[in-house]
Chain A
């Protein structure tokens, strides 16, 4: 889509540079072009496309894979423990006699579920908290942000581990615990974004043109603050999956027999010294691949949105 010539005042873009086929209410079109520009910028980034492909691959592999590759993931089988890859078990079996490849799929399901769910919780709380603090301002803003400062100073992993001693760890519990303690960064980002956006010219222009509070929040603040939130979501997913792996490795992961990648690596030291490489490196590689892909997507999204801002 061709770029309208640079509007002098953002938000007036619709009036100044609207193309003849553009819809009425020009600023909507400018936002759309910004988004489309960001998407194009994102798609030009090869690493980001690789990242998206990796995530899509893992979603298919973990959720559809078990329908094709049937394995027993609930009953302990002492007859076939620690078998090397080959035969009917493509990646061997672990010390409970579970098929390792099937277990990686099952563990990937929980990792992705918790990653997305925890980041959704964190994003919703963080966005609301930050937006309220930024919009209301004054004493409430001060109190809310000091609260964020305090929680941010308490080492996250410690709190999650201490709480994990008390909760039976289901996918839902674990997502809640991780999500409830990782909304702090998004809340700061959103508040900062709202504060700067409020004073930007295009918001003033909209106000001068007679836009109501509702319109300003829905049409101007939210769409523009959204880019920060979207970038953050991807990093949240990566962090949640890592924290889940730490919890599992330390023995506070999901309840048996639910599989998680961290739990599978809990005995990894023994496996390494026994030479059971198939119980360590495939899981580890999957873990790194998913986290890396999420980080790459986040980085590319940040660049894409940044470029959009710079071009204006």
Chain B
């Protein structure tokens, strides 16, 4: 197993380097030098040249790539000339709120999807199962912002339960945490989108587990349905969820972007959106690279976790 983990780590490093290379190429292609952001759009050619020379933007691309890579290794994601702040500082400022939103949404979606999937599998082909499947399919096909709009319409504007957008007074992660009413709609929207795919997998995984001999044995030795489901089925049926959660990071990042824009919640997604409108390429590419790293990390953790928790995978 150690050998497998080492091989997996080496692969992750290669993929990470590749991600850095591709984002560097994109950055280089879209904005070769931030000089016009610093000196203004009408800068003199001579001033542009000397600024580029001073800051190393006249070196060969490969050297620029290595210094970019060196910076990334030190978690230096560049400088936002539009916001006059280092991108790392911007990330630090916003990461907590985004992590809270995604974390809470992920947790909520698991809390809903796991029991729902098991219940669907136990009562398979019943009216309830069909209804939930139909609902899941619809949710799965729905853009997250449209689901958010529907929730805003009913829960915020018609029934006044929650505010339609997150209030400007929520500025820190702690405030986001202590004002659950403000964050309910964004978290629920993001969670429901995940529930749609999670519970489908959970249902089929629970169906597979239900057909296994150990469930028949548990029933045969006289265990009650509750004990069979909670002690024997749950743990086995949840195994595929480990992989699924690890793979859900890109979905969460994309979801964060749309939900933060929709609810005006200040996190990394909103930072990215503002950078899109300002053409702040250093922020854009830094967040893309960060998303890539998180994806690799998620896959890696999922792969290792599944090897540790499932002996069948270890043998294979």
Residues of A within 8 A of B (CB): 146-147, 149-151, 153-159, 161-163, 165-166, 238, 242, 245-246, 249-252, 262, 265, 268-269, 272-273, 280, 284, 287-288, 291-292, 295-296
In B125-142, which residues have CB < 8 Å from any A CB? 137-138, 140-142
Shortest Cβ distance from B281 into A: residue: A162
Contact A288 to B142, CB < 8 A, known contacts A153-B19, A157-B254, A272-B157: yes
Q: How far is the CB of B255 from chain A (nearest CB, A)?
A: 10
Q: Which residues of B contact A250 (CB under 8 A)?
A: 257-258, 261, 273, 276
Q: How far is the CB of A41 from chain B (nearest CB, A)?
A: 18
Q: Which residues of A contact B285 (CB under 8 A)?
A: 162
Cβ-defined contact, B152 with A269, below 8 A: yes
In B21-80, which residues have CB < 8 Å from any A CB? 22-23, 26, 30
- Complex Cα spacing A146 to B296, Å: 13
- Complex Cα spacing A260 to B152, Å: 23
- Complex Cα spacing A149 to B300, Å: 13
- Complex Cα spacing A161 to B197, Å: 24
Cβ-defined contact, B15 with A146, below 8 A: yes
Q: Which residues of B contact A296 (CB under 8 A)?
A: 137
Cβ-defined contact, A284 with B146, below 8 A: yes
Cβ-defined contact, A272 with B254, below 8 A: no
Q: Is the interface of A mostly helix, strand, loop or mixed?
A: helix
Shortest Cβ distance from B264 into A: residue: A269
Given A162-B281, A250-B261, 17 more contacts at CB 8 Å?
A151-B22, A156-B254, A158-B272, A158-B288, A159-B288, A161-B284, A245-B143, A249-B143, A249-B145, A268-B149, A272-B149, A273-B157, A280-B149, A284-B146, A288-B142, A292-B137, A295-B137
Contact of A159 among B11, B26, B146, B157 (CB under 8 A): B26
Shortest Cβ distance from B255 into A: residue: A157
Contact of A242 among B143, B253, B299 (CB under 8 A): B143
Shortest Cβ distance from A242 into B: residue: B143
Contact of B295 among A155, A157, A166, A268 (CB under 8 A): A155
Contact A154 to B288, CB < 8 A, known contacts A250-B276, A272-B153: yes
**Between-chain CB contacts (< 8 Å), 9 pairs:** A146-B14, A146-B18, A155-B291, A158-B257, A162-B26, A165-B276, A249-B143, A262-B143, A284-B150
- Complex Cα spacing A269 to B272, Å: 20
Cβ-defined contact, B18 with A150, below 8 A: yes
Shortest Cβ distance from B150 into A: residue: A284
The number of residues on chain B lying at the interface, defined by a beta carbon within 8 Å of a beta carbon of chain A, is 46
Q: How far is the CB of B129 from chain A (nearest CB, A)?
A: 14
Contact A158 to B273, CB < 8 A, known contacts A246-B258, A288-B146: no
Q: How far is the CB of B41 from chain A (nearest CB, A)?
A: 16
Q: Which residues of A contact B165 (CB under 8 A)?
A: 269
Q: Which residues of A contact B292 (CB under 8 A)?
A: 153-155
- Complex Cα spacing A187 to B109, Å: 31
- Complex Cα spacing A246 to B257, Å: 10
- Complex Cα spacing A291 to B137, Å: 10
Q: Which residues of A contact B267 (CB under 8 A)?
A: none
Cβ-defined contact, B279 with A165, below 8 A: yes
Residue B212 lies at the interface, judged by CB distance under 8 Å to chain A: no
Residue B229 lies at the interface, judged by CB distance under 8 Å to chain A: no
Shortest Cβ distance from B258 into A: residue: A246
- Complex Cα spacing A251 to B262, Å: 12
B243-283 toward A: CB 8 Å interface, digit per residue (1/0)? 00000001001100110011000000000110011010100
Cβ-defined contact, B262 with A269, below 8 A: yes
Cβ-defined contact, B143 with A246, below 8 A: yes
Cβ-defined contact, B30 with A249, below 8 A: no
Contact A251 to B152, CB < 8 A, known contacts A154-B22, A242-B143, A296-B137: no
